[in-house]
Amino acid sequence: MQVTPELLKGMNLFEFLKVEELKDIASLAKIEEFESGDYVFKEGDKAEKIYLVLEGRVAVEIEVGPGKRMVVYTETKGKMFGYPSLVKPHVFTTYARCLDKVKLITIKADDLVEKIFKKDCRRGYLVMNKLAEIIAQKLKETRMQLISLAHS
């Protein structure tokens, strides 16, 4: 299966771009498959790719004690995760564990920045602005979860 501009248009990170603007991004993308229970990445791993969920669910977890993890959110079809690949210091601070058999669209962050964003600053700005919105939403969700835990 090949990544098409239409597939990328269905992903939250790129939904606002025109199909025409997604052609060169699609050429950088690959599809990777994982089994249920597999880790896409672990805390401390170097962050080199962004991930877009095509099929399945991925739990994003934090370590809350020795060998103990807590799910902070679950990514489903159309959602992006792995933003540390686009933000310094480019190291994952969470775990991403597949809850099902998962298909992900992956894009090397360096390729996205060097081949697309540096040549088309407008697109780079728009995508990074959308990324900021996604991160802000994740922070809000995590805050609500912490409030809920504090009251239980």
pLDDT in tens, 16-70: 999 999 999 999 999 999 999 999 999 999 999 999 999 999 999 999 999 899 9
Q: What's the predicted TM-score (pTM) here?
A: 0.94
Mention every residue, 6+ apart, whose C-beta is less than 8 A from residue 29. Answer: 3, 8, 105, 106, 107
Domain covering 5-150, topology: Jelly Rolls (2.60.120)
pLDDT in tens, 65-96: 998 999 999 999 999 999 999 999 999 999 99
Domain extents in the chain: 5-150
Q: Which two three-digit tokens encode residue 108?
A: 């090397």
